[in-house]
Structure formats: structure tokens, C-alpha cells
């Protein structure tokens, strides 16, 4: 499974980080994370040239058809991957700062969608974009994420 999924996950993360730069809102860190739930909202306070925050990708789940007569999987299997971005929010919010933060989250959601749709690693793959969500705020961070459900070949 890892031989099929891990390179795709890292490629999608690279596409996301490139897309964030292209869209003028780069993240300072881009990490593949291992977690059975959303990654902890940490690292959003990092600051780099022209950017701040952390972008991440994670493997969420896999499913496959199984024969009633055999325990061996048959047919294609599906994987769900998730990409996200965490950014800092103002510790003393005003209407102006919360409006700017809402704009930033909306921009990140658009970047997430473009990153998946335009990623060369997705060429020729059957996939659907799952839910796109706002995450938080929590711990001084707010984020955005998108799920990607891919149909892969047989194991």
C-alpha cells in the first residue's frame, strides 16, 4: 500500500506548496503527517520570507472490495487523502483582522482545490474532491483542508 500511496501523497503536498507560492501566500513548512485525526494545530506561527504557516498532507483511509469466498482483496481499492494549511490568527482580534483571516482561509481553500486539480501526479487518475472545511480556530491557528478520494488499481 505505501508503495502506491506515499509517493502520491508527497507529490500532492509538493503541488500544494507550489500552488500556495503561486497564489502569493506561501507556507513556511510543508509536512507529511501521520495521524488518525486532524494534525495538531501547531507550527502556524512560523514566519518565512513572504509567508507564514504550515501546509500538510495525510493518509486518511483505504477501502477495497473483498470476495465473500476469500479474504484476498479483489478489484480496485480507494484511498482518502487530506491536504491542509494552518495559519496564525490575531491574538487580539478586531473586525478588520477577522475579515482578513476569513479572506486568507477562503484563499487557502481555493489553493487547495487548484493544487489537487492541477497536480501532474493526478493526471490519468480517477478521483473526486471530498469535503473542504475550515478548521479551528484553536491554539492561535485557523486552517483549511480538503479531502481527495482516489480510485487506485488492484493491490
Q: What is the pLDDT of residues 141-155, one digit of tens each?
A: 899 999 999 987 665
Average confidence (pLDDT) over 43-49: 72
Using CA atoms, how far residue 38 sits from 41, 50, 56, 111, in Å, is: 8, 26, 10, 19
Average pLDDT, the chain: 86
Residue of 153 and 54 predicted with greater confidence: 54
pTM more than 0.85: yes
pLDDT at 1 over 80: no
If pLDDT is split at 50, 70 and 90, which confidence band does 127 have? very high
Measured CA to CA, the distance from residue 80 to residue 61 in angstroms comes to 5
Amino acid at each position: 500500500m505505501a508503495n502506491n500511496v506515499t509517493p502520491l501523497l508527497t507529490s500532492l503536498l509538493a503541488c500544494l506548496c507550489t500552488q500556495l507560492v503561486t497564489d502569493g501566500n506561501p507556507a513556511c513548512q510543508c509536512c507529511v503527517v501521520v495521524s488518525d485525526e486532524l494534525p495538531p494545530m501547531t507550527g502556524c506561527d512560523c514566519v518565512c520570507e513572504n509567508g507564514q504557516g504550515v501546509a500538510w498532507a495525510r493518509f486518511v483511509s483505504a477501502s477495497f472490495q473483498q470476495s465473500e469466498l476469500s479474504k484476498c482483496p479483489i478489484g480496485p481499492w480507494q484511498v482518502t487523502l487530506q491536504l491542509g494549511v494552518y495559519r496564525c490568527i490575531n491574538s487580539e482580534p478586531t473586525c478588520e483582522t477577522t475579515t482578513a483571516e476569513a479572506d486568507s482561509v477562503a484563499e487557502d481553500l481555493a489553493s487547495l482545490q487548484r493544487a489537487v486539480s492541477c497536480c501532474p501526479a493526478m493526471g490519468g487518475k480517477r478521483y473526486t474532491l471530498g469535503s473542504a472545511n475550515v478548521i479551528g480556530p484553536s491554539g492561535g491557528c485557523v486552517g483549511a483542508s480538503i479531502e481527495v478520494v482516489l480510485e487506485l488499481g488492484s493491490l
